[in-house]
Amino acid sequence: MSELVPVAPVPPSDHGAFGVHGSGDTSGFGGLVRTGGPLLATERPLPDAFEQLYSTVERVFPQLGEAVERVVVDRGELTIHVKRQFIRQVCQVLRDDPGLRFEMCSSVGGVDYLADPTGRRLHCVYHLQSMTHRRRVRLEVSVPVEDPHIPSVVSVYPTADYQERETWDMFGIIFDNHPALTRILMPDDWEGHPQRKDYPLGGVPVEYKGAQIPPPEERRRYG
């Protein structure tokens, strides 16, 4: 059995919404507080199926040791943390090698770990699926807000097109060489990226209705 060290970076002070206490609400806007832990890594050898998969990637991609920051096995899932400059190459290998055949990128999304101890709070997460071998793998790339650039994987997985646009729209991660990196949910002239943890909530004028959304603590509060 491999030995796990604590899981993913967690902001040191998550707060429950609308002043709620004593629940699992960690949405970021109220009273619940939990402390974070250090970054993860899982020691080799990995559990059997994951060790076989990772060894195959090592064999067909000799630069893997340089490309990967850490590997995490948690709750029966494998996450490979990849340095951003290698993400497209890793995806290409995972898709094309007959022993891997991760033909499908089912999702690309963002996460904002506001207090990430590395200073790279913006994370991009890729879920890949092999329909040939019936298995999944997760890739993760982290970048700082000051330099939020990641190579696009649209040339490898065309389905990532709209998903990268949404991740740019919501989190401000810039996907270099994307064919048309434009807003997809918010208006083209919108300022900011609404799913960042430091994005202001409420009080935003809704021009087409002539209304204004109050801050969340004024909208609803649990007693």
Q: For residue 26, tell me if it sits in a domain.
A: no
> Among 8-17, 24-33, 67-76, 128-137, which stretch is predicted with the lowest mean pLDDT?
8-17
Query: First CA to last CA across the chain, in angstroms?
Result: 47
Rounded-to-integer distance, Cα 144 and Cα 128, Å: 24
Is the separation of the CB atoms in 202 and 216 below 8 Å?
A: yes
Which tens digit of pLDDT belongs to each residue from 174-220? Answer: 999 999 999 999 989 888 999 998 887 766 655 555 566 666 666 66
In this prediction, what percent of the chain has a pLDDT beyond 90? 63
Q: For residue 68, tell me if it sits in a domain.
A: yes
Total domains present in the chain: 1
Residue 195, domain extent: 41-219
User: What CATH number is given to the structural domain containing 135?
Assistant: 3.30.460.80
Is the separation of the CB atoms in 72 and 81 below 8 Å?
A: yes
Rounded-to-integer distance, Cα 168 and Cα 1, Å: 39
Question: At residue 23, does pLDDT exceed 60?
Answer: no
Which tens digit of pLDDT belongs to each residue from 146-172? Answer: 999 999 999 999 999 999 999 999 999
Q: For residue 153, tell me if it sits in a domain.
A: yes
Residues 6 or more apart from 191 whose CB is under 8 A from it? none
Residue with tokens 């993400």: 87
Q: For residue 25, tell me if it sits in a domain.
A: no
Q: What is the pTM of this model?
A: 0.79
Q: For residue 120, tell me if it sits in a domain.
A: yes
